[in-house]
Amino acid sequence: MSEPDDPLPEGTLISHLLELRSRLLRAFIAVLIAFLPCAYYANQIFDFLSTPLVAKLPPGQKLIATTVTATFTAPLKLAFVAGLLIAMPYVLYQIWAFVAPGLHTREKRWSYLFLGAAIPLFGIGITLCYLSLGRSMHYLLGLTPGGVQNLIQVDQYLSFAMAMMLAFGLAFEVPLLIVMLNLAGILTHERFRKWRRVLIFGVFLIAGMANPSPDPVTMLILGGACAVLVEVAEFIVWANDRRRTRLHPDPYAGLADDELSPLPSVGRGED
């Protein structure tokens, strides 16, 4: 008779893969649980998301469906995205729980900071995107030449709206990335100050590239909000560098590039 298998030793590749499978399964179940009520209220979610566009359409005009399955797949896709957003905190927790045992105490604090700030910033970006959708629709529909009627498909509008929300949410994570680079010792305030104008210009450039809408008002809203957050990130970087300097003063601070650093005095032994 064969002996019973011994339990897998902790730290082996197989045990890590089994734990990863367990974490992914839990995350999938969480998304599925959040998806079910979203699928039940898919029409209400669609009405909420389509309000910025429908309010700007001419009287009597509605969205159209050009395929038989569009009225089924579009709300279903919307319900899945809504369920994913609702379950995202738990999904991120499962990812963090998998990598946390291999992190040091300081790295764990960074993880808490990242997760605690990333989710609210992403939510603020999505909210700001929804509030600016009406302006985008008004601008885009205003570009329609005379004698042309806009026949907007349901699935195309939903893809456009969700792409805009994703762009806004990710753009709001840029200041957090700046702070994380500073905490990791990669980006200092002195270097940030030298490249500050370039970074601000890059923020507006990314806002223009990431925004699916060519509406300049929406680009200014996204770029302006991100620029304000970058200023907040700069203050945090400045305060953190001052704290580091106070706790660990640089003995070579104030010396010119061509100035020799003082050597420590060495006592001469008595003969």
Q: What is the rounded distance in angstroms from the CA atom of residue 122 to the CA atom of residue 88?
A: 11
pLDDT tens sequence across 158-186:
888 888 888 888 878 888 888 877 777 77
DSSP H or E run through 44: helix 42-54
Report the C-alpha gap between 161 and 212 in whole angstroms: 9
The answer to whether the pTM exceeds 0.75 is: no
Distance between CA atoms of residues 160 and 260, nearest Å: 60
Cα 132 from chain centroid?
18
Query: What distance in Å separates the CA atoms of residue 203 and residue 147, rounded to the nearest whole number?
Result: 38
Tens-place pLDDT, residues 11-21: 577 887 888 88
pLDDT tens sequence for the chain (271 residues)? 444 444 445 557 788 788 888 989 999 999 999 999 999 998 898 889 888 888 888 887 888 888 888 888 888 888 998 998 888 888 888 887 787 777 667 667 777 777 788 888 888 888 888 888 887 787 778 877 877 778 888 888 888 888 888 888 887 888 888 887 777 777 788 888 887 777 777 777 766 665 655 667 777 777 777 788 888 888 888 888 888 777 766 555 555 555 555 555 555 544 4
Contacts of 236 (CB under 8 A, 6+ apart): 179, 182
